[in-house]
Amino acid sequence: MVPEAAADKQFSATTGPISRRFSLHQRIALRSIIFVGYWVIRLIGPTLRVSVSREEGAQETIEQRPLIASFWHCCMIPATYICRDRGVRVMSSNSYDGEYMGRIIRKFGFVAVKGSSSRHAVRALLGLRRALDDGRTVAFTLDGPRGPRYRVKPGPVALARSSGVPMTMFHIAVDRAWVLNTWDRLMIPKPFSRVLMRLGKLIPVPADARDEDLERYQQELQQSLDRVREFAEANINKAGTSEFPYYKAKPSPK
C-alpha cells in the first residue's frame, strides 16, 4: 500500500507553486479562482439535500472502490462535494482550466493526475492504473477539458481492460442552480437545492477484449451516461421523497 503522502507526490502535479508557464496575470487570476471556487463549494455543499438512485447492477454505495468512474464536466461542483475526502484520483488536463480545478479538488481530498486525451495521456493512464492497483477509485470528466459536450473518450475503456476494474458512471441533477455560459454549462447549485445522483450499471471490460471490441464498450459507456443523465434530470423533483430519500454519507474510508 502506498502511503497517502507519497501517493500525492507520485500522482499529483498540483501541490507546488503555480507554474510560470502561465502569465503573471493568469497566475493572479488562478489564485482568485481557486480561493472563490473552494469557498463556494465549502459553503454551499453542506446545505445540499442529496438523494442517490441506482440502476440494477450499479455499485452498492458511493464509497465502493476501486472503480473507474465517469461523469460529465457540468457536474464537477456537486460531485466534488458529494465524493470528497475519499482519495479519488481524477484525470486533470494541463490546461488553465485543469490547473485551477486540480487545485480546488485537492482541497477536498482528491488527487489530480496530470494528462488529457490529447497530451500526456499514456503517462496519466499509467498513474491511474497504479492508483487502481492501490485500491483507489479513479475518475474521468469525460467531455473535458474542452468538449465536445456529452461525448465519451476512450480512456476509461482502455483502463478497464488493462486493470480488470469495472467502469461505473453517474450524473448529478440539481433542481436549482446557476448555470454558467460556458462550453460545459457548468452547474453551481444554489444553497439548499435538491440533488439527485443517479448511478449506472457497472460495465466490466475483459482483459482479452480485442482492440476492435473497445469501440463497442465505449459506445456502451456513452449510452449509460446518456441514460443516467436523462433519468436524473427527469426525476430531480422526486429527490427527498420516499422513492429517493435523502442520502446519509458514511464515514470516509481510511
Tens-place pLDDT, residues 144-181 = 777 799 999 989 999 999 999 999 999 999 999 999 99
Amino acid 14: pLDDT: 47
| Spatial contact of 205 and 157, defined as CB atoms under 8 Å apart | yes
**Does a cis peptide bond (omega within 30 degrees of 0) precede residue 148?**
yes
What is the structure's pLDDT at 254? 53
pLDDT (0 to 100) of residue 7:
40
* Separation of alpha carbons 95 and 201, rounded Å: 32
- Which set of grid coordinates corresponds to residue 173? 441533477
Quote the cell numbers at residue 119: 497530451
Interatomic CA distance for residues 214 and 207, integer angstroms: 11
Identify the pLDDT of residue 112. Answer: 86
Residue 246 near residue 51, CB atoms below 8 Å: yes
Q: Is this prediction's pTM over 0.85?
A: yes
Give pLDDT, residue 16. 57
Q: What is the CA radius of gyration of the chain?
A: 17
Judged by phi (left if over 0) then psi (alpha if -120 to 50, else beta), residue 141 lies in beta
> What does the pLDDT read at residue 126?
86
- Is residue 100 a contact partner of residue 33, using CB atoms and an 8 Å limit? yes
Q: Which domains does the chain have, with CATH numbers?
A: 24-236 (3.40.1130)
Q: Tell me the CB-side half-sphere exposure of residue 226, using CA atoms within 13 A.
A: 10
Where the chain has pLDDT below 70, the residues are 1-20, 94-97, 115-121, 250-254
CA 250 to chain CA centroid, Å, is: 19
Q: Which three cell numbers stand for residue 157?
A: 475503456
Among the listed residues 203, 198, 229, 201, the one whose alpha carbon sits nearest the alpha carbon of residue 217: 203
Q: For cell 460556458, what's the residue? A: 182
- Residue 251 confidence (pLDDT): 59
All three cell numbers of 15, joined, read 501541490
Give CA–CA dist 115/127, Å, rounded.
10
Q: Rounded to whole angstroms, how far apart are CA atoms 219 and 216?
A: 5
Residue-wise over 188-203: b if at least 16 C-beta within 10 A, else e?
A: bbeeebbbbbbbbbbb
